[in-house]
Amino acid sequence: MNIALLPGDGIGPEVIAQAVKVVKAVGKKFGHTINFEEGVVGATAIDQTGDPYPDATHEVCLRADAVLFGAIGDPKYDNDPKAKVRPEQGLLAMRKKLGLFANVRPTFTFPSLVHKSPLKLERVEGVDFVFFRELTGGVYFGEPRGRNEQGTKAFDTNVYTKEEISRLARMGFEAAQKRRKILTCVDKANVLATSRLWRETVQELAPEYPDVKVEYEFVDAVAMRLIQWPKAYDVLITENLFGDILTDEASVISGSMGLMPSASVGTENKLFEPIHGSYPQAAGKDIANPLATVLSAAMMFEYAFDMKAEAQAISDVVNKSLAEGIVTEDIAEGGKAYKTSEVGDWLA
Amino acid sequence: MNIALLPGDGIGPEVIAQAVKVVKAVGKKFGHTINFEEGVVGATAIDQTGDPYPDATHEVCLRADAVLFGAIGDPKYDNDPKAKVRPEQGLLAMRKKLGLFANVRPTFTFPSLVHKSPLKLERVEGVDFVFFRELTGGVYFGEPRGRNEQGTKAFDTNVYTKEEISRLARMGFEAAQKRRKILTCVDKANVLATSRLWRETVQELAPEYPDVKVEYEFVDAVAMRLIQWPKAYDVLITENLFGDILTDEASVISGSMGLMPSASVGTENKLFEPIHGSYPQAAGKDIANPLATVLSAAMMFEYAFDMKAEAQAISDVVNKSLAEGIVTEDIAEGGKAYKTSEVGDWLA
Ligand SMILES: CC(C)[C@H](C(=O)O)[C@@H](O)C(=O)O
Ligand SMILES: CC(C)[C@H](C(=O)O)[C@@H](O)C(=O)O
């Protein structure tokens, strides 16, 4: 197995390092030969090469069977609306060039952490849903985008083809068939032409999945219900921008944001990453929680290599670390706080 | 004072009727002559005239000093992506034609209802912020929008001018000066050209309001923090679509969605409405909570007529109804549930 490592910015390198320890340990235990190759991305890549997703990094990803990604983002770029190159452009270029059209974001709770949720226990206990966010279309990539000549007017274009919608929707339908069989199509069909195409396309596909109950909800209503009654959801499908907002909203309800993994998949390539950001304030301090990245490696074994036992071994040891309190300060709750690297060593 | 009444669909007519009782009582008590003129809007207007915002209704609004609006929306239009006329088009036409460029949405808690919040008490108690959502620009109105010839591709355009941004932002800055002096500009400047113009414009205005602390946050981050720590916010400004999603998310955290009023204001016209929808399941049953509409009437006295005492009289009687349990079933909590009309009579 060839795994590309893209640590990125902030705490990225630290959390990726722990995942690597765990992946190596799994390789040893199950007798797999695992090769790693590293690439730079994000602010780190801009500093080194001027390009947030250099060709050399793209080559590394293409050669690999799966990509393990940390995080990108550096505050020095955030408040400069005129910056020419931004770390996030690397992320978008990577998604587009690798064809990662579906971002798979599960939300579930850990019994030992659910009390940390901002929501009341009865609302959140047992929550278990998964978002399929379209990742290479919509307003993130649509043209034209920019300014008029005087710079006094700006515009972006949201655009979707039936093809882009149906390949994402099919992934959602298939996931729903293996789960509780409820698919929620999230759109703004009362206002947007793109959303009406989403709804129409999903309506056309629905008869092929007669066992799946399909619901259509407006994005603003979902933003409410995710807080009011998140247990109602099973599989949600949505466009890029709505997915950006709603998956982040969803991520805080479980009380264990530092543990949530994700996958971004396409026809050829697959990338796995924690949902948390680059958390620059914690960078280099050996305090970041590595569990989301470690669980992303578990997702990698399952989804990229179809190795369920290996994935299970990782989830098991993560649960054990939670049960025994071998955790970083963010979830230590008055118990001993372990360093990022100590948690990684223990898990491995 | 001339007030236009636009009851709209679903529970709209019932809740507007209670607000009218209260406004009449206030008129009597304070010695104002108040005239009402009614107009149709939404699904009701489509059924009667084929147009969700008929010219006759627009005339009624133009003649009035303020508009009191119920709600629009009918499920029979929701799942038909090909419907030619939609009730929501009436809402959008109304906003555009009346020039209502700022939607003002306060979120605050009522001590007697805060326990109904889905959030834990310590997170939500004392929350007090207000959104200024841009309401007549962005992707709701941008051109081009539609489909390609084969119907396989759809597109929408998000567009903003500096002018549109600064008039909304100035309202936010001024509100912040009268409040806790924190302004949060919510955008997606790491991806969208329109958002970069928002951020740039706000940065240019900031020196004119040196007493206001300005923060810039990405829309996905705000979607999280609104749940994690909503007390951090004071005044938030944002574009139309982000505002749609975030104000609805914000509306559920107080535990008293049925009580939240709003104003939509422009240079010439002012409209007041409850933030809840048309709630078709409850229509005609005399069970809908009229308090949000009644409090919208209070906002009207304050913002359209600069009559603080009249506004205060309404808030006071609403608080009294809560204290004495003269409330509808949604907030009766095991106590006697009063009918919509009974609550209106009592308040008046
Ligand atoms: C950094 C940004 C461009 C990115 C996005 O909006 O897609 C991030 O928020 C995410 O969700 O991965
Ligand atoms: C009905 C719809 C067009 C409207 C909007 O999105 O503006 C509504 O959700 C609102 O927020 O008033």
Tens digits of per-residue pLDDT, A320-348? 999 999 999 999 988 999 999 999 999 99
| A188 touching chain B per CB within 8 A | yes
Q: What is the mean pLDDT of residues B59-82?
A: 88
Kindly indicate the confidence band of residue B86, based on its pLDDT and cuts at 50, 70 and 90.
confident
For helices A240-253 and B219-228, what crossing angle results, to 10°?
Answer: 20
pLDDT computed for residue B84 by the predictor: 80
A140 tagged catalytic: yes
Query: Number of C-alpha atoms within 13 angstroms, CB side, residue A22?
Result: 35
Q: Assess whether A226 and A124 both reside in one domain.
A: yes
A244 tagged catalytic: yes
> Which residue type is seen at A210?
P
Ligand nearest to the CA of B251: 2
- CA-nearest residue for atom 9, ligand 2, is B244
Bond from prior residue into A144 cis (ω within 30 degrees of 0): yes
Do the chains contact at B155 and A158, CB–CB below 8 Å?
Answer: yes
Q: Assess whether A241 and A292 both reside in one domain.
A: no
Interface test with B, best of A89, A103, A119, A190 (most B CBs within 10 A): A190
Task: Say whether B136 sits in a helix, a strand or coil.
Answer: coil
CA angle B260, B225, A95 (to 5 degrees): 120
* Residue A262 maps to a domain: no
CA distance B239 to B242: 6
| B128 touching chain A per CB within 8 A | no
Q: Assess whether B171 and B293 both reside in one domain.
A: no
CA distance A300 to A302: 5
Domain holding B247, by residue range, is: 104-258
* Residue A42 maps to a domain: yes
- Number of structural domains (chain A) is 2
Give the start-end residues of each E strand in chain A.
Answer: 2-8, 35-38, 66-71, 102-108, 128-134, 146-147, 153-161, 182-187, 213-218, 235-238, 261-265, 270-274
Least confident of A283-297, B74-88, B287-301: B74-88
Task: Say whether B145 sits in a helix, a strand or coil.
Answer: coil
β partners of residue B263: B104, B272
Q: Assess whether A226 and A112 both reside in one domain.
A: yes
Q: Give the DSSP letter of residue B67.
A: E
A167 CA: distance to closest CA in chain B (Å): 14
- Residue among A260, A179, A181 nearest A215 (CA): A181
CA distance A186 to A183: 10
CA angle A188, A194, A197 (to 5 degrees): 95
Provide, rounded to the nearest whole percent, the portion of chain B with pLDDT above 90.
Answer: 92
Question: Does any ligand 2 atom lie closer than 6 A to the CB of residue A215?
Answer: no
Last residue of a domain, one of B228, B258, B288: B258
* pTM over cut 0.85: yes
pLDDT computed for residue A80 by the predictor: 66
Q: Within a 10 A sphere around the Cβ of A25, how many other Cβ atoms? A: 17
CA dihedral B283, B289, B295, B301 (to 10 degrees): 40
**Interval B137-182: pLDDT, tens:** 999 999 999 999 999 999 999 999 999 999 999 999 999 999 999 9
Residue of B9, B69, B77, B88 to test ligand 2 pocket, by largest number of atoms within 8 Å of CB: B88
Last residue of a domain, one of A206, A234, A257: A257
Answer yes or no: is pLDDT of A190 > 90. no
* Residue A79 maps to a domain: yes
Kindly indicate the confidence band of residue A76, based on its pLDDT and cuts at 50, 70 and 90.
confident
Q: Assess whether B182 and B304 both reside in one domain.
A: no
Answer yes or no: is pLDDT of A107 > 70. yes
Q: Assess whether B114 and B250 both reside in one domain.
A: yes
Q: What is the mean pLDDT of chain A?
A: 96
Q: What is the mean pLDDT of residues B275-304?
A: 96
* Residue B84 maps to a domain: yes
Last residue of a domain, one of B215, B239, B258: B258
Residue partners of B73: CB distance under 8 A and separation at least 6: B9, B10, B42, B43, B87, B88, B277, B278, B280
Q: What is the mean pLDDT of residues B69-88?
A: 82
Q: CB pairs below 8 Å between A and B: how many? A: 180
pLDDT computed for residue B81 by the predictor: 59
Which tokens sit at B216?
């810039």
CA angle A280, A281, A282 (to 5 degrees): 90
Question: Does any ligand 1 atom lie closer than 6 A to the CB of residue B157?
Answer: no
Cβ contacts (< 8 Å) between A191 and chain B: which residues? 88, 92, 139-140
Q: What is the mean pLDDT of residues A156-184?
A: 98
**Contact at 8 Å (CB) between A168 and A134?**
yes
Question: Does any ligand 1 atom lie closer than 6 A to the CB of residue B220?
Answer: yes
Q: What is the mean pLDDT of residues B21-34?
A: 98
pLDDT computed for residue A81 by the predictor: 59
**Contact at 8 Å (CB) between A96 and A75?**
no
CA distance B104 to B238: 11
Q: Assess whether A197 and A137 both reside in one domain.
A: yes
pLDDT computed for residue B79 by the predictor: 63
pLDDT computed for residue A217 by the predictor: 96
Do the chains contact at A158 and B162, CB–CB below 8 Å?
Answer: no
For B105, counting Cβ atoms within 10 Å of its Cβ (0-12 exposed, 13-18 middle, 19+ buried), the class is buried
Kindly indicate the confidence band of residue B85, based on its pLDDT and cuts at 50, 70 and 90.
confident
**Contact at 8 Å (CB) between A257 and A153?**
no
* Residue A243 maps to a domain: yes
Kindly indicate the confidence band of residue A88, based on its pLDDT and cuts at 50, 70 and 90.
confident
Least confident of A42-56, A274-288, B82-96, B233-247: B82-96
Place of tokens 């609805």: B248
Report the CATH number that the domain containing residue B65 is assigned in CATH.
Answer: 3.40.718.10
Answer yes or no: is pLDDT of A283 > 90. yes
pLDDT computed for residue B76 by the predictor: 84
- Residue among A279, A290, A276 nearest A318 (CA): A290
Q: Assess whether B284 and B188 both reside in one domain.
A: no
Place of tokens 């882009």: A164
* Residue A150 maps to a domain: yes
Do the chains contact at A223 and B245, CB–CB below 8 Å?
Answer: yes
Which tokens sit at A166?
């149906």
CA distance A334 to B6: 56
B240 CA: distance to closest CA in chain A (Å): 12
